[in-house]
């Protein structure tokens, strides 16, 4: 997810630290030194991770569009759950720390503010897929951090890349 809105921002911030090497992976929009990798291609992902033996896997790739998730739940599950579980297994086998970007969509919005022990109740396929990704990670490795973000915004490559510009476009 290094070519997405969040991935680009993370790569920019982390690249300012010269104590470690950043290997950004992307499926589309592969430029600026990113490596092309399809997270659904398990053999290629396994080869990449075991070949580079990272200390940290920062997983920010996802099908994040609720409308697309609703219309293609199998593809959403493949990326948001199965690819996530595979990365968690690779993190465990290489003793890497896994950092997973999740969402507040795992909650139904009826009882904020939400704390780490709040019971999830996703209302759509996207929220359920991200919750299932969280559960998979927790079942596989204890060397992980899950961060639930409510919204992404920032410099965009195209108008539909974040919720704020998408809403502004519809006005």
Q: What is the pLDDT of residues 4-42, one digit of tens each?
A: 556 556 666 666 766 655 555 544 554 566 667 789 999
Tell how far CA 120 is from the center of its chain: 18
* Angle between helices 42-52 and 84-94 in degrees, nearest 10: 30
Give mean pLDDT, residues 46-61.
88
What tens digit of pLDDT does each residue of 98-133 get? Answer: 999 899 999 999 999 999 899 999 999 999 999 999
Model confidence, pTM: 0.79
Residue 7 is predicted with a pLDDT of 56
Q: Is 136 helix (H, G, I), strand (E, B) or coil?
A: helix
What tens digit of pLDDT does each residue of 145-171 get? Answer: 998 987 655 555 545 545 544 445 555
Which residues does the annotation mark as catalytic? 126
């Amino acid at each position: 997810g290094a070519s997405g809105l969040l991935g680009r921002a993370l790569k920019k911030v982390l690249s300012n630290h010269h104590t470690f090497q950043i290997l950004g992976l992307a499926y589309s929009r592969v430029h600026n030194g990113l490596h092309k990798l399809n997270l659904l291609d398990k053999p290629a992902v396994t080869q990449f991770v075991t070949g580079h033996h990272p200390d940290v896997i920062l997983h920010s790739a996802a099908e994040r569009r609720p409308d697309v998730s609703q219309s293609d739940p199998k593809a959403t599950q493949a990326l948001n759950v199965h690819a996530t579980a595979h990365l968690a297994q690779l993190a465990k086998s290489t003793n890497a720390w896994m950092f997973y970007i999740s969402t507040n969509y795992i909650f139904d919005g009826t009882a904020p503010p939400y704390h780490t022990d709040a019971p999830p109740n996703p209302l759509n396929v996207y929220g359920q897929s991200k919750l299932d990704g969280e559960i998979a990670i927790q079942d596989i490795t204890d060397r992980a951090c899950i961060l639930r973000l409510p919204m992404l915004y920032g410099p965009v490559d195209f108008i539909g890349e974040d919720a704020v510009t998408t809403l502004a476009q519809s006005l």
